[in-house]
Structure 1
């Protein structure tokens, strides 16, 4: 009955009785009208505790681990008309996250079940779990889905390698190998969760990666100069070509030249880029000698152990299709930003869901294209034609042409070469080649590598990643063999959530069409409360 029955004569009451047969409560009598006025809801309710908040927003936080307390305050006000203090909401959010992160300790049956489920629902996938049986601690977890393994052959033989930190309660690193499709979109091939970026972990990751990529393809890798990766690469992929990220080299040179005038330091950094892009050996050495002369002893020391075979176009013998940086790997790390907050199996499944949606969306999109070349590179061809249409072209024979630009160059359409070397370096027709092909007997689309064709793009996304039903997932059993998180030292200070840009790196800001704020998100990825 109502607590105000005697004072105000309120008739609200409910009478229930429990049945011992099934332990159900049965309502016998219920009068749901308050006559004392206490049923009027107020915005500031002292009974709204952190427990009530956590139970109310648990699904929201589990779906979006980066949900902030201020967003929850807005949700409670909008949906329930309640003014809850930030402190109470923060406690409620932390309780939900504590429940999520409690899943970091897994029974071996659960971890083995998920690994088997990946291969059962997606036949042809490859999963490998490595743990320390003596200490019962997790070590490494490698995942590559079947659709990524088989369809990588429809992408350029180019892989971007990078590692990023995990942001959950238990720290670690996520190593990833990412490719690019025919429209320059990200195509994740494989990833792994490890405790840290060490030589042993990179060697293990590359060894596992070698099991899922086609060994007959001459793959080029692009990454930063991580010490563990530098030691592991020649051992696991001795015949592969390894290109260093130019953006990281510029940041390294900028730090190396610390203390000198900023304007002159920027000039040296730009000169490094000129050296990297120079296509001829003679031109490269001229520009490098000038850079060393200007940078003096510091520059000589910086380039002493920096082999040009790994960063200069004139010496690089692999095929990297004009890709000079590892930005694709950085983009993948940002793409899985929310997943990096989750426990291991939930993290892997979150990434699987993102891949599944991306493949489906791009498959539907490609089916609407009517062109022969993918839109990004079709636009590049049109720009090249507009930039070169004023040039005169002289014909030597059916295959060789001279383009009278400044300077004049020779284009051999049959051999797909240009004396400016851009066609050979980028694997895509340069401005000179485009205008020469227009004057020849060749079809321009036939002179573009098949990786950039819509047909190949559709082949890259013709596979599918299928859902994994968790209905059969075994419950956590404390008596089963338990795999605990790795022992990692928590760094001092407040945990970082966002990637720290390299010095000198320019971050492009865009205006979101939903919240109308400048930042690095758009309408689709916007999480700002409205």
Structure 2
């Protein structure tokens, strides 16, 4: 039962045993039996660390160009035959080549805790492909999330991508612990921007209505300084406290506005979190699946880019362009929207052409004016950066990740030291097994089940329990150590005297 469905509930196992064998067992015995069955099916966690070196060798032998780096805990006694696992970094060769062929200099960084008996953090980095899809790149398993682990991970990533201190990349993150100083030390010239969705999640703790979200997004998608200042003033008029929070949020400082807009990006970009949680440090290579490009997409551009360009083309019919005798044009349209387009530098004063590398509505109106004047302008897609071309998209996914053989056929490592799991200390209290979902996730699930309706409220069930011994809240009878006994007795005494008085 566990082999066919590893997530089978304990109650279901208990009912099946009672029906098939007509034996009643406690839920705790079922839990121990499932743990034993899971160990037999999945293997022992400790033994899986012993074959980690064999797995890394098989990964490098199967996928040419794969980078793996393994670190162990320093052992003062050099005669010991064991070494404790500390860190591992893996970047598959196919993903590395595909990222370089994709031509987009943007990296998303995130982390997640590991599930299982041994602690740790999974550090991941992803890119964006030509169709604005998530492109996995590299991951690492470290002991904890701090500046040292992030610095080690970024150094390994920099060696693979040939990043230097003066490299012009864009990093996007949720301001994880230790990440900001690590990036500042290793790559001081990069643009480090923060995920607006996570910023809004922090903002909505105090300001929950949709009006605040609309004001925040208007400020975020502004492409010019006057436009950004205008929307910030609108937010100040709407709520001064929210305006001050957005200007000076809790540390680390928030970077927002036109200077925070990504280079070569389309509209707003969410921080994509890859919650890759391995129960051991030995994942299977065949579990990794990459998105394939749609080779049947019509036209020379990717589907998403074609839609954005078509949207700009439809909006350009409301604009008129005037030539000034050189390579510049004055473009004006409705709502006093007037900008200057420079065809030599392929830029517009609205800054969308420089930021997206896709012709804006003003640039397309200029190109139409040039065509009407008899100039040879060529096809409209030629003004789009090659990063969005279908040819680039196909080349990024032309490198495939090869599957690996079974564990019995792996080459054995010749290292004389046996690898053991990282040190582990049980934390007090019951560990959490499920991540608390946000309101948006609850709403998405409700929409899938019912199709419409208001978002569900986050449940507060089991948040505060009452002890059966001392009658106090905050713990149960199993963990009761006599705390709050006086409060419980007083509460009972007051209740008794009240009932006696009423009687």
**Is the TM-score greater than 0.5?**
yes
CA contact (8 A) 1:222 1:242 kept: yes
Matched residue, 2:389: 453
Q: Deviations over 1:242-264 (max 9, x none)?
A: 01111222233334xx3xx755x
Within 5 A, what are the aligned runs for 1:123-522? 123-134=64-75, 136-155=83-102, 156-215=104-163, 218-255=168-205, 258=206, 262-263=208-209, 267-288=211-232, 291=235, 296=240, 300=244, 303-304=247-248, 311-316=255-260, 319=263, 321-322=265-266, 324-328=268-272, 330=273, 332-333=274-275, 336=276, 340-345=277-282, 347=283, 349=284, 352-355=285-288, 357-358=289-290, 362=292, 365-366=294-295, 368-396=296-324, 399-401=327-329, 402-406=331-335, 407-440=337-370, 441-469=377-405, 470-473=407-410, 481-487=418-424, 489-490=426-427, 492-493=429-430, 495-498=432-435, 500-501=437-438, 508-509=444-445
Structure 2 Cα separation of the partners of residues 70 and 403 of structure 1 = 68
Structure 2 Cα separation of the partners of residues 199 and 284 of structure 1 = 33
Matched residue, 1:25: none
Counterpart of 2:37 (choices 85, 91, 96) is 96
CA contact (8 A) 1:195 1:488 kept: no
CA contact (8 A) 2:265 2:356 kept: yes
Q: Deviations over 1:63-110 (max 9, x none)?
A: xx545567889999xxx9999999687665433323466533247762
Structure 1 Cα separation of the partners of residues 130 and 364 of structure 2 = 19
Q: Deviations over 1:136-195 (max 9, x none)?
A: 432211100001111212231110111112222323221111001111111111111122
Cα separation, partners in 2 of 1:108 and 1:267, compared to 1, 3 Å:
closer
Cα separation, partners in 2 of 1:392 and 1:71, compared to 1, 3 Å:
farther
Alignment RMSD (CA, Å)? 4.0
Cα separation, partners in 2 of 1:392 and 1:108, compared to 1, 3 Å:
closer
How many residues get paired?
431
SS at match of 1:176: strand
Q: TM-score, normalised by structure 2?
A: 0.73
- In the TM superposition, residue 424 of structure 1 has moved relative to its aligned partner by 1.9
Matched residue, 1:120: 61
Structure 1 Cα separation of the partners of residues 203 and 125 of structure 2 = 26
- In the TM superposition, residue 373 of structure 1 has moved relative to its aligned partner by 0.1
SS at match of 2:119: coil
- In the TM superposition, residue 389 of structure 1 has moved relative to its aligned partner by 2.9
Cα separation, partners in 2 of 1:90 and 1:493, compared to 1, 3 Å:
closer
CA contact (8 A) 2:52 2:281 kept: no
SS at match of 1:410: strand
Cα separation, partners in 2 of 1:445 and 1:72, compared to 1, 3 Å:
farther
Structure 1 Cα separation of the partners of residues 297 and 242 of structure 2 = 52
- In the TM superposition, residue 118 of structure 1 has moved relative to its aligned partner by 1.4
Structure 2 Cα separation of the partners of residues 224 and 474 of structure 1 = 40
CA contact (8 A) 2:148 2:178 kept: yes
Q: Deviations over 1:287-340 (max 9, x none)?
A: 445645765577546634789996334223862614645432x2x32xx4xxx2
The runs of 5 or more residues in structure 2 that have no matched partner are: 76-81, 371-376, 453-503
More off after superposition, 467-476 vs 432-441: 467-476
The runs of 5 or more residues in structure 1 that have no matched partner are: 1-52, 520-530
Q: Deviations over 1:390-417 (max 9, x none)?
A: 4444444585442423313333334222
Structure 2 Cα separation of the partners of residues 245 and 432 of structure 1 = 29
SS at match of 1:221: strand
CA contact (8 A) 2:57 2:413 kept: no
Cα separation, partners in 2 of 1:390 and 1:67, compared to 1, 3 Å:
farther
Structure 1 Cα separation of the partners of residues 429 and 360 of structure 2 = 50
More off after superposition, 143-152 vs 110-119: 110-119
CA contact (8 A) 2:54 2:412 kept: no
Matched residue, 1:15: none
Cα separation, partners in 2 of 1:84 and 1:246, compared to 1, 3 Å:
farther
